[in-house]
Amino acid sequence: AVNVNGKFIATDVSPIIKDGRVLFPIRTLASLGVTYQWDSKSQSALITKGKDQIKLTANKKEAFKNNQAVQVYVPVQMTQGRILVPFRFVSENFGYKANYEKIRS
């Protein structure tokens, strides 16, 4: 489950854990006030909040924040026809804090 500021957010595809990192459906970003565009040709997502932008590409560990290269531990994944992005990476790069609750997974 995804919990944003004490409110559980419904997702059409469950978040997954890959290499110790939580990935969640990109559509869930709306709950953070973030917008995104998916380019199916390049398999990349451009995620925007205010003046900040992050570009993530499927299966690549290099991302770009405001056109500066940064490393991401786990790249964007495609599963069940959905785009999953690394939750901590995205949320913290937009100034949010992310916590994993072991008790609830």
Across the chain, mean pLDDT equals: 87
Instruction: Report the alpha-carbon distance of residue 60 to residue 58 in Å, rounded.
Output: 6
Q: Give the CATH number of the domain where residue 9 resides.
A: 3.30.457.10
Within-domain flag for 98: no
Match 């995620």 to its residue by tokens.
Answer: 47
Q: What is the pLDDT of residues 55-79, one digit of tens each?
A: 999 999 999 999 999 999 999 988 8
Mean pLDDT of 21-26: 87
**Can you tell me the distance from the alpha carbon of 63 to that of 80, in angstroms, rounded to the nearest whole number?**
23
Residue with tokens 């069940």: 80
The answer as to whether 61 is a domain residue is yes
In a domain, 104, yes or no: no
In a domain, 100, yes or no: no
